[in-house]
Amino acid sequence: MADKKNENIIPDAIHSAVAVVFFALYFLYLWFIVDPKLIFHSGGKITNYPVFFKGLDFFFPFLSRPGGAAEYLAAFLSQGLFFSWLGALVLTAVGMAICFCLRYILKSCGAKADGWFWFLPVILFAVVYGRYSFNFVTTVALLISLVFLCLYLKIKTKTKAGQFFVFTALSIASYSIAGGAFLLFVASAILYDLFFRNNKALFVGQFILSILIPYTVGFYLAGQTMIDACTSLLPFSWKIIIHEDAKSTALLMYSIYLLAPVAVASLGIITQKPAVMPAKLKTIFTTGFRSWSGCLITLLIIAAAVGISFDRKNKRLFQCDYYSYYQDWDKVVTVARNDLNSMFLCSAATRALYHQDKLFDKMFEFYQFPTILFMQTQDQKKLFWKQADIYFELGYINMAEHKWTSCLDAFGERPMILKRLAWINMVKENSDATVIYLNSLKRTFFFNDFADKYLALLKTDPDLLTDPEIQNWRKKMITKDYSLDFSDPETALINLLQSDINNRMAYEYQMSWFLLTRQLDKIALSLNYLKFYNYTTLPQCLEDAALLYQVRTDKKLVLNEPLKISSQAQQRYANFSQICSAYQANETAMFDQLRGHYGNDYLFYFLFNRSGMKQ
C-alpha cells in the first residue's frame, strides 16, 4: 500500500526539474507577456511605484523609520524593471525566494515532501503583475519577514529562555528592516512554537513583545502613529491601499501574506489532531500534492488563473502610453487598433496619426468624438499624465508644465516626469529650474545620460541657442498670455495659430476639431491653408467634408491649385447618398449597410455623429 502511494509521488530529481521549468516559465511570462518595462513606466496609473535616487543622502532617511530598509531595497530593485528582461529577472528572483522560504517553512512543519503548494506565491504574483498592479514594497517586506521566520525555525535552543531571546532579537531586527510586515514573522513564529515546539509558556511573552516592539521602535522612537507603527508595509496599511491600483489587487496580497501562518496553523492542527482531517486530505496536505495528478492540477490552476486574470485591456493602455512617451507611433497605432472603444487609445492613435502624416486619412478608423482630441472628461486629473504631451507638442508649454508638475505630486519624483519637466524648463529658458530637474535626473540609473548631456550643454550654452530641437519648440510656444482653459479647444487652437502660423499640429488639430464638431463652413474656410502645410492633394476626410459643404450649402468651393476634389471622392459620395436614399425608411439597416462600406469615412461620422470603425 505504502509503495503504491510512493509510486504516485514524483521523484526528487523530476520534481526539481519541474520546479526549474516552472520558474523559467514564470520568468518568460513576465518578460514577454507582462513586459515589466510597462510597469516601470507606470502608464499614468501606478501611483505607488518606488522612487529611487543614487547617493547616501537619499539612503539615510530610510534608516530613520522601521521598514525603511525594505522600502529602500524595494526601490532599488524596482529600478530593474526599466528593462523588461531585468525586471522579469528581479520579479522572478523575489518570487522564487518567497517560494523557497515557504517551502522551508512547510518542511519545518512536517510536510513530508515538498509538493506544489510552495509555488502558490508566484502564481498569485503572476496574477498581480498580469493586472498591472505593483505592490513591490510590501512584497519585499514579506520576503524579509519570511527570511527571518526561516531563520527562527532553523535556530533551535536548548532552553525556553534562549528561544525567547532569539525570538526577541529576530523580532526587533525584522521590525527594523521590514516594519509592520514583522507581524507575519511574529504570528507564524508564535504558531510554530505553539504547535511544533510546544512552547505554550512563551506565548504571553511573545504576544506582548509583538505589541511592545512597534510601540517602542515605531511609535516612541520613530515618532509614527501607533496604527502606522503596526501596519506599515503590510498590504492593508492605509498608506498602501490609498493607491487605487494597489487596492485592486489587495485581496491577492492579503492571500500571499496569509500563506505562511495558514500553512503553519494547518499543518500544526493536522500534526496535533490527526482526526480533524480525513486521511486522504491529510495525505494531500502532508505530501503537498506532490503527485503527477497534483502537478497537472497545479499547472491547470496556474494556466487558468493567469489566463483569466491577465488584463489585456490594461496592458494595451500601458503599452500605448509607453510607446507614446517614447514616440514610437507605429506601435501606438497598432496597439490602439486592438481596442477601438478606448478613449485614451483612440486619442493616442489620433496623435500618432498626426505624427505619421496620416491624420486625415485614417482618423475615422478609430473611435472619434470631439472630446477625444484632448481627452476631456469629468475627472481630468487622472488624465494629466496622458494629456501633458499633447499640450506640449501643440505649443501649450505652460499647460504641459501644469500637467507634469501635478503628476510629480501624484506619481512621485519619477524620472519620466523629471525629464519632461527639465525639457519644458529648457524650452521656457528657465535654466536654473532646468538644472534642478537635471541634477535630480542625474541621480537616477537610466536617465542620467540625458541629464549629463544637457548639464554639459548648459555650461557652454546657458540659453541653449545651439540646440535646434529646443529652438523649434520655442518657436511653437504660444506667446499670447491668457487664462488657460481648455474647455474651449477651438479658441485655444486659434490662439496657437495666431502665435505661430507654422504650427502644423495646431492646424491639423483645429481641422480635426472642425471635422468632429461638424463645422463644415469653418473647414471650407481653412481648406486652402493645406497648401501652406505642403499638402498637394486633399486627404480623404477633407474631400468628404468639402463635398458635404458644397452639397449642403449649394456653394462651389474654390480650392487653390493643386488641391481639388477627386472624381473618386465624388463617386464615393454618390454611392453613399444612394445607400442613404435606399434605406431612408430603416435607419438601423442604413447604419449597418453604411458602416460596412463607409465606417471609416467622414461621411459616416457626419451622418451618425460617431465613427463606424469598420473592422
Partner 1 sequence: MIKLGKIRIGICLIITAVVLSIFCWPSVISIEGQETISETPVQIRPDYTNVTIPANIAPLNFTIEKEANAYKVKVHSKLGEPIELYSKSNKIKIPQKKWHQLLSKNIGNDLYIDITVDENASLTRYPTITNKISADNIDRYLFYRRHHPTHYLYNGNVGVYQYDLENNKETCVLDGYSFDDSGCVNCHTFCSGKTNPMTLAIRSMNFGSSMLLIKDGIAKKITAKITYTAWHPSGKILAFSANDVRQFFHSANKEVRDAIDMDSMMAYYLIDSNKIKTTEALSTKNVLETYPCWSPDGKYLYFCKAPLTWKKGSEIPPAGFQNIKYDLVRISYDIQNDQWGQVETIISAKDNSSSNLLPCISPDGRWLLYCQCSYGCFPAFRQDSDLYLVDLTAPEVDGKYQSRKLDINSDQSDAYHSFSSNSRWIVFSSKRGKGPFTRPYICSIDQQGRTTKPFVLPQKDPEFLDNCLDTYTVPELAVEPVTIKANALAKLIRSSQNLNVDIPVSMASPKVGVDKNEYPQVQE
CB of residue 14 vs partner 1: minimum separation in angstroms?
Answer: 35
Q: Coil, strand, or helix at residue 159?
A: coil
Are 50 and 137 within 8 A, CB to CB? yes
CB of residue 158 vs partner 1: minimum separation in angstroms?
Answer: 18
CB of residue 48 vs partner 1: minimum separation in angstroms?
Answer: 10
Burial of 536 (0-12, 13-18, 19+ CB in 10 A): exposed
Query: Which amino acid is it at 397?
Result: I
Q: Does 392 bind partner 1 (CB under 8 A)?
A: no
Q: Does 379 bind partner 1 (CB under 8 A)?
A: no
> How far apart are the C-alpha atoms of 95 and 139, rounded to whole Å?
9
CB of residue 430 vs partner 1: minimum separation in angstroms?
Answer: 4
Stretch that binds partner 1, among 100-108, 402-410, 511-519, 563-571 (CB under 8 A): 402-410
Pick the binder of partner 1 from 428, 518, 564, 614 (CB under 8 A): 428
Number of residues that bind partner 1 (CB under 8 A): 48
Pick the binder of partner 1 from 139, 163, 224, 342 (CB under 8 A): 224
CB of residue 410 vs partner 1: minimum separation in angstroms?
Answer: 5
Pick the binder of partner 1 from 12, 330, 409, 449 (CB under 8 A): 409
Q: Does 401 bind partner 1 (CB under 8 A)?
A: yes
If we measure between CA atoms, which residue out of 502, 496, 497, 506 comes closest to residue 533?
502
Q: What is the 3-state secondary structure (H, E, C) of 503-535?
A: CHHHHHHHHHHHHHCCCHHHHHHHHHHHHHHCC
Task: Report the residue number, 323 or 384, with the smaller CB distance to partner 1.
Answer: 384
Pick the binder of partner 1 from 333, 399, 427, 613 (CB under 8 A): 399
Pick the binder of partner 1 from 443, 476, 572, 595 (CB under 8 A): 443
Pick the binder of partner 1 from 151, 277, 305, 433 (CB under 8 A): 433
What's 595's DSSP letter?
Answer: H
* Angle in degrees, CA 355, 491, 390, rounded to 5: 30
Which residues, numbered 489-508, are part of the site for partner 1 (CB under 8 A)? 495
DSSP per-residue letters across 174-221: HHHHHGGGHHHHHHHHHHHHHHHS--GGGHHHHHHHHHHHIIIIIIII
Question: What phi, psi does 9 have (nearest 5°)?
Answer: -80, 130
Task: Report the residue number, 54 or 504, with the smaller CB distance to partner 1.
Answer: 54
Q: Does 200 bind partner 1 (CB under 8 A)?
A: no
Stretch that binds partner 1, among 160-168, 324-332, 431-439, 515-523 (CB under 8 A): 431-439
Pick the binder of partner 1 from 78, 135, 210, 425 (CB under 8 A): 425
Pick the binder of partner 1 from 13, 468, 482, 588 (CB under 8 A): 482
> How far apart are the C-alpha atoms of 215 and 303, rounded to whole Å?
44
Stretch that binds partner 1, among 113-121, 248-256, 306-314, 400-408 (CB under 8 A): 400-408
Q: Does 219 bind partner 1 (CB under 8 A)?
A: yes
Q: Does 73 bind partner 1 (CB under 8 A)?
A: no
Which residues, numbered 233-262, are part of the site for partner 1 (CB under 8 A)? 238-239, 242
> What are the residues whose beta carbons fall under 8 Å from the beta carbon of 602, sequence distance 6 or more?
364, 515, 540, 541, 542, 544, 545, 548
Q: Does 546 bind partner 1 (CB under 8 A)?
A: no
Pick the binder of partner 1 from 69, 178, 435, 546 (CB under 8 A): 435
CB of residue 232 vs partner 1: minimum separation in angstroms?
Answer: 12
Are 102 and 120 within 8 A, CB to CB? yes
Q: Does 114 bind partner 1 (CB under 8 A)?
A: no
* Angle in degrees, CA 92, 93, 98, rounded to 5: 95
Q: Does 355 bind partner 1 (CB under 8 A)?
A: no
Q: Coil, strand, or helix at residue 291?
A: strand
> How far apart are the C-alpha atoms of 508 and 353, rounded to whole Å?
11
* Angle in degrees, CA 46, 50, 56, rounded to 5: 160
Pick the binder of partner 1 from 97, 151, 305, 408 (CB under 8 A): 408
Q: Does 389 bind partner 1 (CB under 8 A)?
A: no
Q: Does 135 bind partner 1 (CB under 8 A)?
A: no
Stretch that binds partner 1, among 1-9, 30-38, 116-124, 423-431 (CB under 8 A): 423-431
If we measure between CA atoms, which residue out of 484, 488, 500 comes closest to residue 393?
500
Burial of 107 (0-12, 13-18, 19+ CB in 10 A): middle
Q: Does 59 bind partner 1 (CB under 8 A)?
A: no
Are 82 and 156 within 8 A, CB to CB? no
Pick the binder of partner 1 from 478, 497, 594, 613 (CB under 8 A): 478
Stretch that binds partner 1, among 217-225, 257-265, 309-317, 508-516 (CB under 8 A): 217-225
> What are the residues whose beta carbons fall under 8 Å from the beta carbon of 283, sequence distance 6 or more?
5
Cis ω for the linkage preceding 462 (within 30 of 0):
no
Pick the binder of partner 1 from 371, 479, 502, 537 (CB under 8 A): 479
> How far apart are the C-alpha atoms of 174 and 148, rounded to whole Å?
7
Stretch that binds partner 1, among 274-282, 396-404, 534-542, 598-606 (CB under 8 A): 396-404
If we measure between CA atoms, which residue out of 306, 267, 268 comes closest to residue 288?
267
Pick the binder of partner 1 from 483, 534, 536, 581 (CB under 8 A): 483
Binding residues for partner 1, rule: CB under 8 A, are 47, 57, 219, 223-226, 228, 238-239, 242, 381, 384, 396, 398-399, 401-403, 405-406, 408-410, 413, 418, 425, 428, 430, 432-437, 439-440, 443, 477-485, 495
